[in-house]
């Protein structure tokens, strides 16, 4: 597959645009940048400084340009300058895509947009988001949706060309798969205080849409078990003070761990992974859990069913009792947990690899930059 631009033998030049950059889209851009650079493509990542600090795009061989996440004129001007000599601009997420549309203006530079999930809001802000979706869908040369639902949404909102493009999860470097699924990591469990009790783990920013209030509601049902499971949550966010108050006031066996850079090791030590809410199209936690052979209980929201198939226990959204019962049922059924581990391994094998993801994206770039004959 060619990595040359249509203007001679100079390498193809791409600009990857990130907004606030949630974990899923930022991880994808890091992986994509590394794969494209390895194939001879020149990559510039436009993202806030904090995203570069967390994901090290320059370590993947890309150039980094600081572009604040706001849509103010200075931010758009910085993005416009970064895109000046690009052969393809590729924006990730709704807000980054809208800034890219503004920055490109009337230029004929191809714009590829990846929708990793659907932005959610209430009231007037929800109306604004729907307007942005239509503007971006109509302006993009190609919209890549990470689930069938997002591809359908792009088509409904005016996309000229919308395609399914699964996003690969890079395998964690700090923790491989468990050699023996019934022998979790004792050192990690000791650090967390879960030597002689089940360890349940959730991961994600402490935001309203993640379902953590439902998780705390469900935890009441597990308190009566002997021994009571310990729930740990890796992530940081605006709900932390309110969640911590509930944990203390209600005396719940829950620990908020804050932001962690060893999520793979923590997850590999867990008995169950929990996904109580969220609208992620391709949940990072779900992918990591199945790769690590950790049984998953998840609220059926976003694209979770398409992602995990039958390899997880899915319960109705916003139903704390159903969630609690699903977790208790798994804790009491070691044979079912083992079946889910095997199903998870098979399901994960159907997901695209990093190489396949990069190859698909590069084929789109080549298609859009091929000289007209």
Task: Kindly give the interhelix angle for 354-369 and 23-38, rounded to the nearest 10 degrees.
Answer: 70
Residues 83/342, Cβ–Cβ less than 8 Å? no
Distance (Å, rounded) from C-alpha 88 to C-alpha 308?
32
What is the gyration radius of the CA atoms in the chain, in angstroms? 21
Predicted model pTM: 0.82
Residues 101 and 149 in one domain: yes
Residues 342 and 359 in one domain: no
Distance (Å, rounded) from C-alpha 133 to C-alpha 353?
28
What pLDDT shows up at residue 171? 60
Residue 372 in any domain: the answer is no
Question: If DSSP codes are grouped into helix, strand and coil, which group holds residue 230?
Answer: strand
Report CA-CA distances (Å) from 280 to 50, 119, 275, 335: 21, 9, 11, 29
Residues 163 and 254 in one domain: no
Residue 373 in any domain: the answer is no
Please report where in the chains the tokens 């600081």 appear, as a residue: 66
What pLDDT shows up at residue 123? 78
The gap from C-alpha 321 to its chain's centroid, in whole angstroms, comes to: 27
Residues 20 and 142 in one domain: yes
User: What are the beta bridge partners of residue 44?
Assistant: 15, 63
DSSP of 50-89: HHHHHH-TGGGT-EEEE--SS-SHHHHHHHHHHTTT-SEE
Residues 316 and 190 in one domain: yes
Residue 8 in any domain: the answer is no
Q: What letters, b where the CB count within 10 A reaches 16 and e where it falls short, cover 171-189?
A: ebeebeebeebeebbeebb
Residue 181 in any domain: the answer is no
Distance (Å, rounded) from C-alpha 279 to C-alpha 267?
21
**Torsion 238-170-63-159 (CA) sign:** negative
Residues 233/219, Cβ–Cβ less than 8 Å? no
Residue 160 in any domain: the answer is yes
Smallest Cα–Cα separation from 14: which of 3, 22, 25, 24? Answer: 3
Beta-carbon contacts of 175 under 8 Å, excluding residues fewer than 6 positions away, are 262, 264, 265, 267, 268, 292
What pLDDT shows up at residue 1? 46
Smallest Cα–Cα separation from 214: which of 258, 264, 260, 252? Answer: 252
Residues 218 and 193 in one domain: yes
Beta-carbon contacts of 144 under 8 Å, excluding residues fewer than 6 positions away, are 112, 113, 114, 115, 162, 163, 164, 165, 361, 364
Residues 164 and 103 in one domain: yes
Residue 93 in any domain: the answer is yes
Which CATH number do you get for residue 147?
3.40.50.2000
Q: What is the pLDDT of residues 200-239, one digit of tens each?
A: 999 988 988 889 999 999 999 988 899 999 999 999 999 9
Q: Total structural domains in the chain?
A: 2
**Cβ neighbours around 127 below 10 Å, total:** 11
Residues 322 and 357 in one domain: no
Residues 111 and 257 in one domain: no
Residues 29 and 147 in one domain: yes
The boundaries of the domain holding residue 225 are 186-348
Residue 261 in any domain: the answer is yes
Residue 27 in any domain: the answer is yes
Regions of the chain where pLDDT drops below 70: 1-9, 20-21, 71, 171-184, 279, 281, 372-373
What pLDDT shows up at residue 373? 53
What pLDDT shows up at residue 183? 45
Q: What is the pLDDT of residues 342-365, one digit of tens each?
A: 999 999 999 989 999 999 999 999
Give, in degrees to the nearest 5, the angle at Cα 209 between 167 and 198: 85
Beta-carbon contacts of 35 under 8 Å, excluding residues fewer than 6 positions away, are 354, 355, 357, 358
What pLDDT shows up at residue 182? 42
Residues 200 and 277 in one domain: yes
Maximum Cα–Cα distance for the chain, whole Å? Answer: 73
Residues 334 and 199 in one domain: yes
């Amino acid at each position: 597959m060619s990595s040359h631009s249509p203007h001679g033998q100079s390498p193809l030049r791409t600009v990857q645009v990130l907004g606030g950059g949630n974990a899923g889209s930022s991880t994808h851009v890091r992986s994509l940048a590394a794969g494209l650079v390895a194939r001879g493509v020149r990559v510039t990542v436009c993202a806030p400084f904090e995203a570069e600090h967390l994901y090290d795009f320059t370590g993947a061989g890309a150039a980094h340009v600081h572009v604040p996440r706001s849509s103010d004129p200075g931010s758009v001007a910085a993005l416009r300058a970064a895109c000046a000599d690009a052969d393809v601009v590729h924006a990730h997420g709704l807000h980054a895509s809208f800034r890219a549309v503004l920055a490109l203006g009337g230029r004929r530079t191809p714009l590829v947009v990846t929708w990793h999930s659907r932005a959610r809001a209430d009231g007037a802000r929800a109306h604004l988001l729907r307007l942005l979706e239509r503007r971006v869908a109509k302006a993009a040369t190609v919209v890549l949706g990470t689930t069938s639902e997002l591809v359908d949404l792009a088509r409904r909102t005016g996309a000229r060309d919308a395609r399914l493009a699964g996003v690969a999860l890079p395998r964690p470097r700090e923790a491989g798969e468990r050699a023996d699924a019934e022998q979790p990591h004792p050192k990690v469990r000791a650090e967390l205080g879960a030597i002689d009790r089940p360890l349940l783990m959730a991961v994600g920013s402490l935001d309203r849409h993640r379902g953590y209030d439902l998780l705390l509601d469900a935890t009441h049902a597990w308190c009566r078990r002997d021994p009571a499971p310990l729930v740990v949550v890796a992530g940081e966010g605006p709900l932390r003070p309110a969640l911590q108050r509930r944990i203390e006031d209600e005396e719940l066996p829950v620990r908020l761990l804050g932001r962690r850079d060893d999520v793979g090791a923590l997850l590999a030590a867990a008995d169950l992974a929990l996904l109580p809410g969220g609208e992620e199209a391709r949940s990072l936690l779900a992918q990591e859990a199945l790769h690590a052979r950790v049984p998953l209980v998840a609220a059926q929201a976003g694209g979770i069913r398409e992602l995990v198939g039958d390899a997880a226990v899915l319960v109705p959204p916003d139903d704390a009792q159903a969630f609690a019962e699903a977790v208790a049922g798994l804790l009491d059924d070691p044979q079912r947990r083992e079946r889910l581990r095997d199903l998870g391994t098979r399901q994960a094998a159907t997901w695209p690899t990093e190489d396949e993801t990069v190859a698909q994206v590069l084929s789109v770039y080549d298609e859009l930059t091929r000289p007209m004959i």
